[in-house]
Structure 1
Amino acid sequence: MLFADQIIHKVDERDTLFGLSLLYNTSVDDIRRANGLESEIIKKGEELVIPLPDSTVEVSRSENKAEIHTYRVKNGDTLSEIALKLGVEQKQIEQLNHLSDQNVRIGQVLSIPGKAAGGDRYSVQSGDTLSRISLLFDISQEQLRQINNLENDSLRVGQSLLVAPLRPQVHLVEKGDNLWDIAAAYDLAIEDISKWNNINGSSIYPGQELKLYSRTVENFEFGASAPSVLMASYREKTPAEPLEEYSHYREEKSSQPTRNYSESRLDDPVLNYRQARDILEALDRSIESEPGLGNQLSGYTIVIDPGHGGLDPGAIVASVNGNGETVYVVEDEYAYDISLRTYRLLKLYGADVTLTIISPNHQIRSSENPSDTFVNMKNEVYNMASLNRKNDDSSWPVGSSEGLRKRVEIAENAFRGADRNKTLYISIHADNSPDLGQGTIVLYSSENEANLDKSQELAESLIPYLGASSSTGRQNLAVLRDNPAYAEVLIEIRNLYYPGNSWAIRYDKLREQDAEFITRGLINYAEGR
C-alpha cells in the first residue's frame, strides 16, 4: 500500500500498536509493515513511522491535520490588497512565498499564514524549515521548539510537528486539584510535571502555577480551552441505567485509614454467598440490556480470578493524595474492581465468563474522590455454593495452597462441557515489588511443556495491548500450574511500588482502561489462532 504522508511517533510507556492505530486513524498491519515489525511488541523510546493513507492528505482541514491556507490571485489583485483583505501582513506573504518583489500574476496560488487549531499537526515536507513552518501557521519559532520539545532546528521529511499547542503553558492550581487529575487532564506524566516544577512528593497548593512544558517562552499563545477528562468511565459509557454501587451494607469508614485497618463480615458464608450472587446477577442483567460490542470471543469460556480477597487483602501500599496526606491502597479491592470491569467487557464480546470470588456488598465502583481509597473489607466468598457450606475459616478465600485449589475447582466447574481449546484462566493482581519495573507483567506456568507453550502464547498476545513497558515471565504459581484451562496467565496489571501506579489505580477511568487493555489483548489472542 502506498502512503501519501507519514509521521514519526516516539513510543511512550503505555503506548500500544492498537492504541496508535486508533490515534492516527490507520491500521496495526500498516504500522507493522512501515516499520518492518515481526510482532506487535514495541519498546519505550522507539521511533515509529506512522503511515497515513491518501485520504488524510487534503488541502481542507481533517482531524488533527493542519490546514494550509492558500489564495488564488484574481484579475486586479495587488499584494497589498490581498494582505489587507485576508488580515495578514504583506511581509509575511512575501517571505512565505519567496517573492522578490510585489508583483503577482493572475492564477498564481499564494500560501497564506493562518492559525492552526489546538493539537493540529503538520508533516514536514522536502525544503521545509522551522522558519517557514513558523510563518505558515503564524506561530513563533520559539513556541514551535517548546511544544515539540525540539533541541535544535533540524527537521526531517515526514516528521510530525504540532503547529498549535495542545495545552496552556501553565496551570493555576485550584482548591481540590491534585497532581494526578492535572496530569490526566493535560495528557502528561506526573513525573514530568514534578520535574518541571521541582516538586518532591505530590503536594501542591491553591494559587500555585505549574509549568506544563519543560521550558517556558515569552508571548505564549494558546487559543483553546484546556482539555477535560480524557477517558470515559464505565458509568459514562454504559447505555444502561448504572447500578447502585453498594447493596446490603457499606463500609464504616469512607477510606482506608491505616495499613492494618480492616472491617469484616465473616459470620455466615452462606448469607454472604447469597448476597454476592444477588449482586452479580443484577450485573448480568445490566450487561444483557446493553448492545453487544462484537462476537470475537464467542465460544470462549473465560474464568476471571480477582487476586486475593476474603481473609487475604494482598498488598497494602501507602500513597499520597493531593494535599500531601498519606492514603492506603488495598490490592484486592482494586483488583476486584478491574476484574468486574473485565468481566463485563468480555461478556459484551460474546464470552461465557465466570468469577472465582465475588463480593456481597458492591458492584463496579467509581472514585469520585480518589483520596477516599477502598477499605479493606473481609467479606468476599468463593463463587460456588458447595464451597460456602462450612462456617469456619476454610470457607473464606485465602492465599494458601488449599485456598488456591478452590479457585481451580471453580474453574474446573466452569469449564465442564466447554470447548477445552477455548478455555482461558486470567488472574488479575496489582503487585508491590521494588525489584520489578513499572509496566504490566504477565506471568505463565504449567505442569508440562505443551501447556506451557499455550500459556506463553496467551501471555505474548496480551503484551502489545498492555503498554510498551509490559513484559512476560515464567513463574511457578500454584493457581496456574494445576489449572485445567487450555491457557492460563496471571496479570500484575500495575506495580503499586511506584507512586504513579498507586495513584493511577485509584481512578475509575484508568481502571476501566486497564480492563479494556486486557480485553483487547484477549481478542487479539482469539483472532490470531
Structure 2
Amino acid sequence: MFFLCLVPVLIALCAGWSGAAPAAARIHIVKSGETLSQIALHYRVSVAQMRQWNSISGDDIFAGQQLELWSPSTPEWYTVKKGDTLSGIARTYGLSTRQINHLNKLSKDRINVGQKIRLRNPQAKKPAPKPQNHRIKKGDTLSEIARTYDLSVGHLKKLNGLDNDTINPGQILQLRTPPNNSQEDNEPHQYTVKKGDTLLEIARRFDVGLKLLLQLNQLKKDRIHPGQKLKLRPALEDEGIHIVQTGETLSEIAWRYRLKLNRLKELNGIEKSRILVGQKLRLKAAPRATHIVERGDALWEIARAYGMTVGELQQLNGLKSSRIYPGQELKLNVEKSRRLADYRVQKGDYLGEIARLHQMSVAEIKKLNNLRSSVIHPGDVLKVRPLLGSGKEWLKRSEIDWSKLLVAPDGIRKVNAANGPYFFSPPKAARQRTDQYYEEHPRSPLKTYRQARKLWQAFEREVGRLGQLSNTLKGWAVVLDPGHGGIDPGAVVETLDGNGNKLYVVEDEYVYDIALRVYVLLRLHGATVTMTLLSPNHLTRHSSPPSQTFVNQKNEVYNSHALNKRDSRKNWPRYGNLSARVRIAREAFAATPKSRSIFLSFHADNDAQAPEAPQVLYYESKNGRNKDLASRDFAQVLLPALGAGSRTRGQSLGVLRNNPAGAKVLLELRNLAYTNNAWSLRFEQYRHRDAEKVVKGLLDYARRQNRSARR
C-alpha cells in the first residue's frame, strides 16, 4: 500500500512538477532556433508528451508557435468510481469543483459511477505554420503584399533590403525574420558527461562560469558522473524575472515558477493580486553581495557600478571571458557591494518603478529604506543600488550639463516642455496620442534643413567646449544614422505605464535621441562624427514624467544641402530611400582611410519572433555567398559591451549594401514587440545607457585595431 501511494509522487517529482497542476495548460511560445527536445528538457517532460499534448507527429515546430504543457499527473479524462465525490476528485488533481463544473458544464456537484469527467481543456490542434516568404505574381504591389500578411511596407522593405517599391514577377520576398546565423544559436544548450570529464573543464570548454554551471544544474558540489546531462545555458525560467503577458494571473505565475503566492507578492510589493500586462516581476531576492544578470547587462558596467575591475569580477566568479548570461548570479566584492546611490523621488514616481529602474525588488528597496509601506512622496531620498554604466572612460550622464549643450542660437526661442526642450516651436500634442497620430512635415525641406543646421551648429560648438577624455578615436570617422525619420516614423507601438494607462512609443523619435548621446560620447574620445539626419526643433530630450512620450513629428531632414536643394516632397526621408544615407556616408569618409571608418544605423525592432536582447546586423547577401566579414568581426567585438543575450546576424540590408565604411552595422538596440523594452525606452537613463554600451564597444574595437596597426 505504501509503495502504491508513493508511485504517483515519484512520477510527479521525476517529471519536474511540484504538486498538481491547475486546469489550464502552461503555454510556451517557441523562439527562433528552439527545438522540441530543448523545450522538453527545459520543462523536464518527454518529447513524446510534448507531441501528445500538441498533436505533433514529428519534431517540426516554428517560431511563434504556442505549445501546451500539462502536468503529467493530470489526465484529460477521469472515470468516476464507486465512492467518488466531485470535491474528492478535485482535491486529487489540484482543481476546484468550480473548475470541473465549468469544464463539464455541470450545474450541480452530483456525479455517477462510470461517468467520464474532463479534467483539462481538450488538446488544441497544431496551428497552420505562417508562410516564411511570398513569390511575386504579375500585378502584385508591395502595399498589397504587406496588407495580406499584416506587415508594414517599411518592415517588408527592411526584411528584403529594398531601396524602393519596385518588385518583379518571380521575385521571392522574405516575410519573417530570417533564422539567426549567429554563433550563439549554433551552440549546444546541453551536454552529456563523458568519462574523465570534470565540471571545471566543461565550464571552460563551453565558456560558461563554473558557478553558473552549478547554479543551472542545482549542484552543491562539483561531483558529476558519466551519462549525466548538464544544462549549459540559462532558459527563460532561469532569469529571475517574469514579464506579465495578457491573460496571466498572479497565482498562475507563482505556480509556474514554484513560488508561494505570498512570497511573489512580497518580492514585488503587491498588496492585492492586481498585475498589469508588461509588468516586470522579480522571482527571487538578490543578497547585497550578489548581482542577478538581466538581459542587456554587461560585465564591464556591473564592475564599474560597484567600483570593481572586470578582472576582479571574473576571478570572483570563475569567468574566463566577459561573456555573461541572463539569470546568472554574480558574486560581488563584499565591501564594494555596499556602495549605494541616492534617488530623489520625483512627482509621478512610484516605488515599483524606482525598484525596476535600479534592478531591485520592492522588498529589497523597502528593507533598505526601512519602509513599512510602498507610499513615497516627492522629495524623499531613497537608498538604491547604483545604476549600471557610467565609468571613468566618460562623463556620467549627471556630470554632463545638458542644459548648456542645448543653447538656442541667436534669434531662436527655446521652449521648455515635459518631453523637451524644443526650439522654434514644440509639437502640438503634449505626448503621442495614439498609434496613428502624427504631425505633418513643413512645406519646405530646404527651409527646414537650414533651420536644423543652425540648431545643429550651435550644438556642435557646445559639445566641442566639453573637451576630451581620450584620443582613442582620433583619426576615426563615424557616421551615425538614426533609423527611419522624416515621413517614416518606423514602429509606433502601444505600451503601458506603471498604472496600466496606455502609452505610445515612436521608434524614430527615440533612436534619434540615442544617436545624439552617442555623438556626444564619441566626440569626447576624439572621433569625427557625422549624423545622416537632423531635427529642426529638438536635440536631446527628457520626459518628466516618462509617460509624456515623444510625438511623431515628420520633420527630420537629411544632413545634406545637396539632398534638400530641390525643395521637393521627394526630398524628405521616407520608406526605402536608403541610398541617400549611403551618399552622406560616402562624403563623410572621403578623406578617411577605410580601416578607420565606421557606420552605425540605429533602430528598435518590432518583431516578436526576434530576440528580446540587442541584435547587431551585418551585410550578407540573400543567397549567403557574399558576407561582409570585416563588419561581422566588428559586430562580434560589440557583443560583450552590449550585454547579456546580445546576438549578431547577417542580412541583406539596403543601408549596408554598397556602403563605403570599413565596418558597418545596423543596431537593433531594443525590440518593441516586448513590453519591457518599450517601457525602458521611455526613460532617459536607459537611452543613455544604450548609448554608453555602443561607445564602449566601439572603443574596444578601435583599441584592438590601433594595437594591430602598431605591430
Normalised-by-shorter TM-score class:
0.5 to 0.7
CA deviation profile, 1:479-519 (whole Å, cap 9, x unmatched): 11221100111111111111211111111121111111111
- Checking the alignment, whether the CA contact within 8 Å between 2:535 and 2:557 is kept in structure 1 is yes
Aligned to 2:496: 320
CA deviation profile, 1:196-237 (whole Å, cap 9, x unmatched): 9xxxxxxxxxx99559xxxxxxxxxxxx95339847898732
Q: Does 1:473 align with 2:678?
A: no
CA deviation profile, 1:33-73 (whole Å, cap 9, x unmatched): 676756433222345566x6xxx9xxxxx544xxxxxxxxx
SS in 2 for 1:21: helix
Which of 362, 387, 391 aligns to 2:563? It is: 387
Instruction: Supply the AA of the counterpart residue of 1:424.
Output: I
Which of 596, 602, 606 aligns to 1:422? It is: 596
Distance 1:416 1:12, change over 3 A: same
- Checking the alignment, whether the CA contact within 8 Å between 1:247 and 1:361 is kept in structure 2 is yes
Q: What's the CA shift for 1:391? A: 2.7
Distance 1:379 1:176, change over 3 A: same
Aligned to 1:187: 359
Distance 1:348 1:175, change over 3 A: closer
How does 1:188-337 map onto structure 2 within 5 Å? 188=360, 209-210=373-374, 225-227=382-384, 230=387, 236-239=398-401, 241-244=404-407, 245-337=421-513
Aligned to 1:502: 678
Instruction: Supply the AA of the counterpart residue of 1:505.
Output: L
Q: Does 1:485 align with 2:661?
A: yes
Which of 413, 429, 433 aligns to 2:607? It is: 433
- Checking the alignment, whether the CA contact within 8 Å between 2:536 and 2:555 is kept in structure 1 is yes
Q: How many residues align?
A: 386
SS in 1 for 2:436: coil
SS in 2 for 1:443: strand
Higher relative CO (Cα under 8 Å, sequence separation at least 6) belongs to 1
Aligned to 1:13: 295
- Checking the alignment, whether the CA contact within 8 Å between 1:307 and 1:428 is kept in structure 2 is yes
Q: What's the CA shift for 1:260? A: 0.7
Which of 343, 352, 357 aligns to 2:528? It is: 352
- Checking the alignment, whether the CA contact within 8 Å between 1:430 and 1:496 is kept in structure 2 is yes
Aligned to 1:216: none
Q: Distance in 2 between matches of 1:460 and 1:360?
A: 35
Q: Distance in 1 between matches of 2:357 and 2:435?
A: 30
Instruction: Supply the AA of the counterpart residue of 2:349.
Output: D
Q: Distance in 1 between matches of 2:678 and 2:489?
A: 15
Distance 1:473 1:284, change over 3 A: same
- Checking the alignment, whether the CA contact within 8 Å between 1:178 and 1:323 is kept in structure 2 is no
Q: What's the CA shift for 1:21? A: 2.7
Q: What's the CA shift for 1:409? A: 0.3
Please provide the CA RMSD for this pair.
3.4
- Checking the alignment, whether the CA contact within 8 Å between 2:305 and 2:386 is kept in structure 1 is no
SS in 2 for 1:494: strand
- Checking the alignment, whether the CA contact within 8 Å between 1:451 and 1:486 is kept in structure 2 is no
CA deviation profile, 1:310-349 (whole Å, cap 9, x unmatched): 0000000001123322110000000100011111111111
Aligned to 1:42: 324
List gaps (5 residues or longer) in structure 2: 1-288, 366-370, 376-380, 408-420, 706-711
- Checking the alignment, whether the CA contact within 8 Å between 1:446 and 1:482 is kept in structure 2 is no
Q: What's the CA shift for 1:283? A: 1.2
Q: Distance in 1 between matches of 2:508 and 2:322?
A: 31
SS in 1 for 2:348: coil
- Checking the alignment, whether the CA contact within 8 Å between 1:454 and 1:487 is kept in structure 2 is yes
Q: What's the CA shift for 1:264? A: 2.0
Q: Distance in 2 between matches of 1:47 and 1:14?
A: 14
SS in 1 for 2:425: coil
Q: Distance in 2 between matches of 1:434 and 1:358?
A: 30
Q: What's the CA shift for 1:238? A: 1.4
Distance 1:227 1:371, change over 3 A: same
SS in 1 for 2:511: helix
Q: Does 1:411 align with 2:585?
A: yes
- Checking the alignment, whether the CA contact within 8 Å between 2:482 and 2:533 is kept in structure 1 is yes
- Checking the alignment, whether the CA contact within 8 Å between 1:185 and 1:227 is kept in structure 2 is no
Q: Distance in 2 between matches of 1:239 and 1:29?
A: 32
Q: Distance in 2 between matches of 1:256 and 1:411?
A: 32
Distance 1:289 1:180, change over 3 A: farther
Q: Distance in 1 between matches of 2:572 and 2:692?
A: 30
SS in 2 for 1:481: coil
Q: Distance in 2 between matches of 1:443 and 1:475?
A: 6
Q: What's the CA shift for 1:12? A: 3.1
Distance 1:326 1:399, change over 3 A: same
Aligned to 2:13: none
User: TM-score normalized by structure 1?
Assistant: 0.66
Distance 1:39 1:299, change over 3 A: farther
Q: Distance in 1 between matches of 2:307 and 2:354?
A: 27
Q: Distance in 1 between matches of 2:627 and 2:457?
A: 33
Q: What's the CA shift for 1:13? A: 2.3
- Checking the alignment, whether the CA contact within 8 Å between 1:178 and 1:321 is kept in structure 2 is no
Aligned to 1:154: none
Q: Distance in 2 between matches of 1:228 and 1:13?
A: 17
Instruction: Supply the AA of the counterpart residue of 1:389.
Output: K
Distance 1:437 1:10, change over 3 A: same
SS in 1 for 2:591: coil
- Checking the alignment, whether the CA contact within 8 Å between 1:180 and 1:503 is kept in structure 2 is no
List gaps (5 residues or longer) in structure 1: 1-6, 57-61, 65-118, 121-165, 168-172, 197-206, 212-223
Q: What's the CA shift for 1:256? A: 0.5
CA deviation profile, 1:359-418 (whole Å, cap 9, x unmatched): 011011111121111000001111110000223232010121xx1000000000000011
- Checking the alignment, whether the CA contact within 8 Å between 1:235 and 1:242 is kept in structure 2 is no
SS in 1 for 2:629: helix
Distance 1:28 1:208, change over 3 A: closer
Q: What's the CA shift for 1:431? A: 1.0
Aligned to 1:176: 348
Aligned to 2:280: none
Q: Distance in 2 between matches of 1:445 and 1:174?
A: 44
Which of 594, 614, 617 aligns to 1:443? It is: 617
Aligned to 1:452: 628
User: TM-score normalized by structure 2?
Assistant: 0.50
Aligned to 1:28: 310
Q: What's the CA shift for 1:433? A: 1.2
Q: What's the CA shift for 1:464? A: 0.8
Q: Distance in 2 between matches of 1:281 and 1:174?
A: 33
Q: Distance in 2 between matches of 1:186 and 1:268?
A: 45
Instruction: Supply the AA of the counterpart residue of 1:434.
Output: A
